[in-house]
């Protein structure tokens, strides 16, 4: 099985991309249309992670199409595009659905890789959608701006998971850094949050609980309750919108006490939306982290498993990560990705 670096560097004439995953700090789920329209000023705040997804497309003679996922080990062969279009179920649906949309001519090998653990809640699938859609756009010679790539990726992902999808998960993959994704009647737009990325690197820890989750299920339950007018859920989202606005301000001002309070408040509210968003293991690991140098913590994504992000005291990374590891969690390498989707030259190995 190839590593990400091996995959994007090997072989000759090819298109290769990488795109980062994300951790959300505030405003998750409210980014699903039309929920944000009911909460003026709604936005989502998130961090691009130096945990990458990748796609490489290599043309070859003939018409055969080969899809390959290096992190899952899956492969799928088609005699040509007509055979792929005729199928309705795929072993590698993310790649297959995007190929269905772009419909490249000729034969090719499309390879993907993700450094994210399965079901981690850090938007590995959304990042891979951006990496793959960007690669396919260039491979097919289409000039599509990055915002339209986001629309394509979001719509195709909705086809895959069969429930409405939010938009915020794509922006870290598109731009990197720390983002405030503004959700307005006139459209969605991304603001780069002006905070020291070196400071962010020092102040957060990310860990995986070892249990994957299904974000579409939790989000869909909350979505339906909001649309049905559940007063508790509607009020919770109004408060989540307020917290996200305050989080953006606190980060820009470097008010880390406010960041701590807001993470705590957001997690407290989110836990009341859907039963099971916090698992016993997640609760235990959060408690351990907070007793060993953590200041506040929240689940990434929709919960029910996956990853947790922890705001820590500066200088306490080793203690926090060691305590998490000792109690069955898996610390991941936290660093803010400085760039979004990136094209790589795929030079052939020599010798």
Looking at the fold, whether 251 and 317 belong to one and the same domain comes out as yes
Structural domain count of the chain: 2
Looking at the fold, whether 156 and 231 belong to one and the same domain comes out as no
Looking at the fold, whether 146 and 128 belong to one and the same domain comes out as yes
**Domain of residue 317, residue span:** 197-332
Helix (H, G, I), strand (E, B) or coil at 235: helix
Looking at the fold, whether 185 and 326 belong to one and the same domain comes out as no
In a domain, 351, yes or no: no
Positive or negative torsion for Cα 94, 96, 100, 106: positive
How many C-beta atoms lie closer than 10 Å to residue 227's C-beta? 14
Looking at the fold, whether 107 and 210 belong to one and the same domain comes out as no
On the question of pLDDT at 216 being above 60, the answer is no
Task: Give the ranges where 16-106 is alpha helix by DSSP (H).
Answer: 81-86, 93-102
Helix, strand, coil content of the chain in percent (nearest 5): 40, 25, 35
On the question of pLDDT at 186 being above 70, the answer is yes
Q: What is the CATH number of the domain that holds 48?
A: 3.30.230.10
Cβ proximity of 241 and 27 under 8 Å: yes
What gap in Å lies between CA 72 and CA 110, rounded to an integer? 14
Looking at the fold, whether 34 and 162 belong to one and the same domain comes out as yes
The 3-class secondary structure across 285-332, one letter per residue, is: HHHHHHHCCEEEEEECCCCCCCEEEEEECCCCHHHHHHHHHHCCCEEE
On the question of pLDDT at 6 being above 90, the answer is no
Looking at the fold, whether 82 and 227 belong to one and the same domain comes out as no
Looking at the fold, whether 43 and 79 belong to one and the same domain comes out as yes
pLDDT tens per residue, range 36-47: 999 999 999 999
In this prediction, residue 346 has a pLDDT band, given cuts at 50, 70 and 90, of: low
In a domain, 227, yes or no: yes
Q: What is the CATH number of the domain that holds 328?
A: 3.30.70.890
Looking at the fold, whether 305 and 245 belong to one and the same domain comes out as yes
Helix (H, G, I), strand (E, B) or coil at 247: helix
pTM here? Answer: 0.93
In a domain, 350, yes or no: no
Looking at the fold, whether 184 and 209 belong to one and the same domain comes out as no
Looking at the fold, whether 111 and 224 belong to one and the same domain comes out as no
In a domain, 348, yes or no: no
């Amino acid at each position: 099985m190839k590593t990400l670096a091996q995959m994007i560097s090997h072989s000759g004439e090819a298109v290769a991309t990488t795109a980062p995953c994300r951790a959300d700090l505030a405003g998750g789920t409210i980014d699903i249309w039309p929920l944000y329209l009911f909460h003026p000023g709604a936005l989502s705040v998130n961090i691009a992670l130096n945990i990458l997804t990748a796609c490489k497309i290599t043309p070859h003679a003939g018409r055969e199409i080969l899809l390959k996922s290096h992190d899952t080990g899956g492969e799928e062969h088609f005699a040509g595009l007509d055979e792929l279009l005729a199928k309705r179920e795929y072993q590698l649906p993310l790649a297959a659905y995007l190929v269905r949309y772009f419909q490249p001519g000729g034969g090719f090998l499309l390879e993907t890789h993700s450094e994210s653990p399965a079901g981690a809640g850090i938007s590995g699938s959304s990042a891979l959608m951006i990496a793959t859609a960007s690669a396919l756009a260039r491979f097919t010679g289409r000039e599509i701006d990055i915002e339209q790539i986001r629309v394509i990726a979001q719509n195709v992902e909705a086809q895959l998971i069969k429930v409405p999808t939010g938009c915020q998960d794509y922006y870290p993959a598109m731009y990197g850094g720390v983002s405030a994704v503004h959700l307005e009647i006139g459209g969605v737009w991304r603001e780069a949050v002006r905070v020291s990325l070196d400071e962010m690197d020092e102040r957060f820890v990310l860990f995986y609980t070892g249990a994957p989750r299904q974000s579409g299920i939790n989000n869909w339950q909350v979505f339906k309750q909001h649309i049905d007018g559940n007063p508790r859920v509607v009020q919770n989202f109004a408060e989540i919108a307020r917290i996200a606005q305050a989080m953006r301000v606190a980060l820009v001002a470097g008010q880390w006490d406010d960041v701590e309070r807001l993470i705590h408040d957001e997690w407290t509210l989110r836990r009341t939306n859907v039963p099971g968003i916090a698992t016993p293991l997640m609760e235990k690991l959060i408690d351990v982290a907070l007793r060993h140098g953590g200041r506040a913590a929240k689940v990434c994504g929709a919960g029910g498993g996956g990853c947790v992000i922890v705001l820590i005291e500066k200088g306490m990374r080793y203690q926090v990560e060691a305590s998490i590891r000792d109690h069955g969690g898996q610390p991941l390498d936290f660093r803010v990705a400085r760039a979004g989707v990136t094209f790589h030259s795929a030079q052939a190995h020599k010798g």
